[in-house]
Copies of this chain bind each other. A is one copy, B any other.
Amino acid sequence: MKKFTCVADIGDLKAALAEAAEIKKDRFAFTELGRNKTLLMIFFNSSLRTRLSTQKAAMNLGMNVMVLDVNQGAWKLETERGVIMDGDKAEHLLEAIPVMGSYCDIIGVRSFAGLKDKKEDYEERVIEQFIKYSGRPVFSMEAATRHPLQSFADLITIEEFKTKPRPKVVMTWAPHPRALPQAVPNSFAEWMNATDYEFVITHPHGYELDPAFTGNARIEYDQRKALEGADFVYAKNWSAYADPNYGKVLSTDRDWTVDAEKMALTNNAYFMHCLPVRRNMIVTDDVIESDRSIVIPEAANREISAQTVIKRLLESL
């Protein structure tokens, strides 16, 4: 594996899940693999879970880790040719990226969607430039349109908790006061579509995601109907994708909040969320604190998904 930005990169899901399970049994079985190897983690956006879990995963593999925090907007890279660089951009990406590559063996990049320019976001310019110019294996620590380490951790978690071969998984939009990228729902849809689960997406009108990600998933605008018989409820907010509302908040309707009454419609479903979660917007206190809430083991599996990915990138060196 030479890069990791989407579900296709991981290849056979059964093999990946088996490898993740083996790592979880003994996280320190591969410390020789990372000896004298360095991971560079570059954050264009701040991070808590991703930073800690990915650093931990790399250290589990015996790697050295360097973290570079690029303050949001503070380090402006020129991307065009021919520009007279007499403004606020002090460096061109064609120099910056290969240099960073020269000091490490593997690069992890976090760079969110700006939600201003849909084309720019959906072209994944930042991470694609790292792939093209760094000379190193690159993995996504959440990019503009996908968050594959999260989705892989979600999948591991579902596999651990499912009690039937083909569970019904429902991803539901839920309200949030701010405009959030589509990376997590896009990515989750992409990964669910790569399984043989029954997968349903529910959201208000106007919140349709990019069909490139949702594929053949059933879209159901009636949240209650979608939740019927669900084995897993995956809640998430996202801003609008469809033009002309790209990046906008169209609704903060708390009628979409996941509560006990809605969970009662399910097949005693497990509740999932990638965190951080706004209580009583996305989900009520009682649901997230219930014994069917698996948000903490889900977050803990971020270490496992990251370690599986980094292990494969190390093996490719």
Contacts and interface: CB of A to CB of B under 8 A. Distances in A.
Contact of A252 (B86, B91, B252): B86
Nearest to A278: B85
Nearest to A98: B296
Contact of A55 (B55, B59, B66, B96): B66
A139 to B, nearest CB: 18
Interface residues of A, number: 57
Given A55-B66, A78-B279, A280-B82, A177 B95 contact: no
Secondary structure class of chain A's binding surface, majority of residues: mixed
A59 B64 contact: yes
Nearest to A285: B81
Contacts of A83: 279-280
A123 to B, nearest CB: 22
A212 interface: no
Contact of A96 (B48, B98, B252): B48
A275 B91 contact: yes
Contacts of A179: none
Interface in A12-33: 27-28, 31
A8 interface: no
